[in-house]
Structure 1
Amino acid sequence: MMEIEWAVERQIRRFAMLNDAHDADGLAAMFTADGSFARPSEPDAPVAGREAICAFFRDRPRRVTRHVMANTTIDILSDREVRAHSYVVLYMADKTLIGDFHDRMELHDGVWLFAERCGSLTF
């Protein structure tokens, strides 16, 4: 179980780093083919499908950011699926946002991929 938790938490942190690096292809590859992503500031507007997720990240305006993930909890549903919850702090030049991510991840070819990643804002 610890191995699963470590691999999932590593993917969550990797997502933050790829996001800050503006690596749209790398971010999209972290999702299942039919995965979905909803940013914390638009939790009711998910983007569905790996190609749409790639376009979403590729086409948005560039800005300097640092995403910090913390307090991650992981519920193992099976040896191939987990649910995770993390706090996210987003530092930007003009403001700081604090929110949450709720994830459902699936194991595909030995790699944990996001099937769903839904964010929300707290502050």
Structure 2
Amino acid sequence: MMEIEWAVERLIRRFAMLNDAHDADGLAAMFTPDGSFARPSEPDAPVVGRENIRAFFRDRPKRTTRHVMANTLVDPISETEVRAHSYVVLYMADKTLVGDFHDRLELHDGAWLFAERRGTLAF
């Protein structure tokens, strides 16, 4: 179980760093082919499919950000599926946002990938 928790927490932190680095290819590779991503500011407007996720991150305006992930809890559902919940703090030049990510991850060819990553804003 500890190995799964470590791998999932590492994936979540890597997502934050690749997001700040504007690495659309790296971000898209973290999702299952039919995975979905919803930003905390638009939780009811998910982007579905790895290629659509790649385009979403590639085409959005570039800005300097720092995503800080904290308080991650990983709950196994089966040997090949887990759920995770994390707090996120997003620092930008003009504002700071605080929210949550609710994730469902699946094991594919020995690697954990996001099947669903849904953000929400707390304030």
Other-structure match for 1:32: 32
Other-structure match for 2:103: 103
Aligned partners of 2:106, 2:122: CA distance in 1, in Å?
27
Aligned partners of 1:44, 1:64: CA distance in 2, in Å?
25
Structure 2 residue runs without a partner (length 5+)? none
Aligned partners of 1:43, 1:59: CA distance in 2, in Å?
19
Normalising by structure 2, we get a TM-score of: 0.99
Aligned partners of 1:102, 1:75: CA distance in 2, in Å?
11
Give the C-alpha shift of residue 79 in structure 1.
Answer: 1.0
Give the C-alpha shift of residue 49 in structure 1.
Answer: 0.1
Matches within 5 A, 1:48-87: 48-87=48-87
Other-structure match for 2:46: 46
Deviation per CA, 1:92-114: give whole Å up to 9, x if none. 00000000000000001111000
Normalising by structure 1, we get a TM-score of: 0.99
Aligned partners of 1:4, 1:122: CA distance in 2, in Å?
27
Other-structure match for 2:23: 23
> Tell me, what secondary structure is at the counterpart of 2:44?
coil
Other-structure match for 1:4: 4
Identity of aligned residues (%): 85
The answer to whether the aligner puts 1:120 opposite 2:120 as a matched pair is yes
Aligned partners of 2:60, 2:4: CA distance in 1, in Å?
32
Question: Across the two proteins, how many residue pairs are aligned to each other?
Answer: 123
What CA RMSD, in Å, does the superposition of the two structures yield over aligned residues? 0.3
Structure 1 residue runs without a partner (length 5+)? none
Amino acid at match of 2:108: H
> Tell me, what secondary structure is at the counterpart of 2:116?
strand
Deviation per CA, 1:30-64: give whole Å up to 9, x if none. 00000000000000000000000000000000000
